[in-house]
Amino acid sequence: MYIYMGHMREVDTQPYEPNFWAKNRIDLVREHISEINHESKKLIASDGTQIPYDQLVLALGSKSNMFGWPGQDLKGVGGLYSLQDLENMEEYSPALNRAVIAGGGLIGIEMAEMFRSRDIPVTMLVREKSYWDNALPPEESQMISRHIIKHHIDLRLESNLGEIIDDGTGKAHAVTVKETGEKIDCGFVGLTAGVSPNIGWIKESGIDTDRGILVDDGLQTNIKDIYAIGDCAELKNPMPGRRGVEAIWYTGRMMGETVAYNICGSKIKYDPGIWFNSAKFLDIEYQVYGTVLSKAPPEHKSLYWEHEDGEKSIRIVYDESSKQVIGFNLMGIRFRHEVCEKWIADKTDLESVIQDLSLANFDPEFYEQYESALVKLYNSQTGKNLTLKKKRKLSQVIKFLRS
Amino acid sequence: MNGIQKIGIALFCVALIIFTALLGYNDFVLTESSLSTSSEIHKKAILEEAASLGVLDKTYNNNISFISDFKSSILSAQAKLKNQYEENPPKDKEASEWEYKIGDWEIKNILTPTIKASGTGWVSKNTFNAFLLTFGLAILGGFIFIIPKFFESPGIKNDGIYHSSLTKGLKFGQKLFFITSTILGVLIYGFFYMGGNFFWPLLTAIVIGIILFLVFNYQKEKTLKPTRSASSEFAGWLGIFAGVYLIIFYVILYWSPQYLTNWITMVDPISQSLSGNDASQWFLYGLLYTVIVFTMGIRMIAKYRHNKYQIIRTCSVMFFQTAIAFILPEILVRLNYPYYDFKNIWPLNYTFFFDWNINNLLESGGLGIFMLVWGIVLIILGVPIITYFFGKRWYCSWVCGCGGLAETMGDPFRQLSDKSIRAWKFERWIIHGVLVFAVVMTAMVLYHFFTGSSKVLFFDSNNVRQWYGFLIGSAFAGVVGTGFYPLMGNRTWCRFGCPLAAYLGLVQKYKSRFRITTNGGQCISCGNCSTYCEMGIDVRAYAQKGQDIVRSSCVGCGICSAVCPRGVLRLENASGDIAERTDQLRTIHITEDQIGIL
Instruction: Give me the tens of pLDDT residue by residue for chain A, a chain 403 residues long.
Output: 999 999 999 989 999 888 888 888 899 898 999 999 999 999 999 999 999 999 999 999 999 999 999 999 999 999 999 999 999 999 999 989 999 999 989 999 999 999 999 999 999 999 999 999 999 999 999 999 999 999 999 999 999 999 999 999 999 999 999 999 999 999 999 999 999 999 988 888 899 999 999 999 999 999 999 999 999 999 999 998 899 999 999 999 999 999 999 998 888 899 988 999 999 999 999 999 999 999 999 999 999 999 999 999 999 999 999 999 999 999 999 999 999 999 999 999 999 999 999 999 999 999 999 999 999 999 999 999 999 998 889 999 988 988 8
Which residues are CB-neighbours of B52 under 8 A, at least 6 positions away?
none
| Residues A375, A338 contacting (CB under 8 angstroms) | no
What pLDDT does residue B235 have? 66
What pLDDT does residue B596 have? 40
| Consecutive H or E run containing B300 | helix B281-303
Phi, psi of A41 (to 5 degrees): 50, 60
pLDDT digits (tens, 9 = 90+) for B240-290: 999 999 999 999 999 999 999 999 999 999 999 999 999 999 999 999 999
Find, among A315, A360, A320, A353, the residue nearest to A337 by Cα. Answer: A360
| Residues A193, A186 contacting (CB under 8 angstroms) | no
Which residues are CB-neighbours of B566 under 8 A, at least 6 positions away?
A278, A279, A280, A285, A287, B519, B522, B523, B524, B526
d(CA B113, CA B37): 9
Looking at residue A274, its amino acid is I
Position B446 confidence tier, pLDDT thresholds 50, 70, 90: very high
Which chain A residue has the Cα nearest residue B313? A366
d(CA A350, CA B213): 61
Q: DSSP H helical segments within A151-274, as ranges?
A: 249-263
Fold observed for domain A31-62+197-263: FAD/NAD(P)-binding domain (3.50.50)
| Residue A323 backbone zone (phi > 0: left; psi -120 to 50: alpha; other: beta) | left
Find, among B578, B522, B480, the residue nearest to B250 by Cα. Answer: B480
Which chain A residue has the Cα nearest residue B526? A13
- Tell me the residue ranges of DSSP E strands in A170-266: 172-177, 183-185, 188-191, 195-197, 213-215, 226-228, 233-235
DSSP readout, A43-95? EEETTS-EEE-SSEEE---EEE-----TTTTSBTEE-SSSHHHHHHHHHH-TT
Please state the separation of Cα A181 from the chain's center in Å: 32
Distances (CA, A) of B387 to A370, B278, B391, B503: 30, 39, 4, 10
Residue A176: helix, strand or coil by DSSP?
Answer: strand
Instruction: Please say if the pLDDT value at position B587 is more than 80.
Output: no
Q: Which of B518, B525, B569, B597 to mutate to test the interface with A (most CBs of A within 10 A)?
A: B597
A–B: how many Cβ contacts below 8 A?
A: 166
| Residues A187, A203 contacting (CB under 8 angstroms) | no
d(CA B491, CA B505): 14
What letter would DSSP give residue B151?
Answer: G
d(CA B481, CA B249): 12
- Domain range A276-402, CATH architecture: 2-Layer Sandwich (3.30)
Q: How far is B402 from chain A (nearest CA, A)?
A: 24
Which residues are CB-neighbours of B387 under 8 A, at least 6 positions away?
B394, B395, B504, B507, B508, B512, B514
Q: What is the dihedral of CA B475, B480, B483, B485, to 10 degrees?
A: -160
| Residues B169, B416 contacting (CB under 8 angstroms) | yes
What pLDDT does residue B598 have? 34
Q: Do A364 and B558 touch (CB under 8 A)?
A: yes
What letter would DSSP give residue B372?
Answer: H
What pLDDT does residue B578 have? 75
Taking each continuous run of H as one helix and of E as one strand, the counts in chain A are 10, 22
Interchain contact B589–A (C-beta under 8 A): yes
Beta bridge partners of A101: A124, A190
Residue A262: helix, strand or coil by DSSP?
Answer: helix
Instruction: Please say if the pLDDT value at position B77 is more than 80.
Output: yes
Three-state SS string across B319-351, please?
Answer: HHHHHHHHHHHHHHHHCCCCCCCCCCCCCCCCC
Say which of A15, A274, A283 has its CB closest to residue B153: A283
Beta bridge partners of A35: A44
Q: Kindly list the residues from chain B whose CB atom is less than 8 angstroms away from the CB atom of residue A336.
A: 519-520
Find, among B410, B394, B267, the residue nearest to B320 by Cα. Answer: B394
What pLDDT does residue B89 have? 78
What pLDDT does residue A17 have? 86
What pLDDT does residue B218 have? 66
Distances (CA, A) of A224 to A151, A220, A257, A267, B344: 51, 7, 19, 14, 67
Where exactly are the structural domains of chain A? Answer: 31-62+197-263, 66-193, 276-402
**Is residue B89 reached through a cis peptide bond, with omega within 30 degrees of 0 on the bond before it?**
no
Tell me what ipTM this predicted complex has.
Answer: 0.94
Instruction: Please say if the pLDDT value at position B593 is more than 70.
Output: no
Are β-strands A99-102 and A122-125 bridged in parallel, bridged antiparallel, or unpaired? parallel
Residue A180: helix, strand or coil by DSSP?
Answer: coil
CB count within 10 Å of CB B108 equals 13
Position B591 confidence tier, pLDDT thresholds 50, 70, 90: low
- Tell me if A66-193 shares its fold with A276-402: no
- Please state which CATH number belongs to domain A66-193: 3.50.50.60
What pLDDT does residue B62 have? 86
Sign of the CA dihedral with B33 first, then B35, B39, and B41 last:
negative
Q: Do B566 and A274 touch (CB under 8 A)?
A: no
Which chain B residue has the Cα nearest residue A11? B228
Half-sphere exposure of A19 (CA within 13 A, CB side): 15
Interchain contact B191–A (C-beta under 8 A): no
| Residues A232, A225 contacting (CB under 8 angstroms) | no
Looking at residue B345, its amino acid is I
B92: buried, middle or exposed (CB in 10 Å: 19+, 13-18, 0-12)?
exposed
d(CA A370, CA A358): 9
d(CA A117, CA B24): 43
d(CA B554, CA A301): 44
Q: How far is B447 from chain A (nearest CA, A)?
A: 45
Q: Kindly list the residues from chain B whose CB atom is less than 8 angstroms away from the CB atom of residue A269.
A: 595
What pLDDT does residue B91 have? 72
Q: Do B589 and A250 touch (CB under 8 A)?
A: yes
Q: How far is B341 from chain A (nearest CA, A)?
A: 29
Distances (CA, A) of B503 to A54, A194, B215, B269: 51, 52, 22, 40
Sign of the CA dihedral with B96 first, then B100, B105, and B111 last:
positive
Phi, psi of B138 (to 5 degrees): -65, -40
| Residues B482, B289 contacting (CB under 8 angstroms) | no
Beta bridge partners of A300: A319
Q: Which of B234, B526, B544, B564 to mutate to test the interface with A (most CBs of A within 10 A)?
A: B526
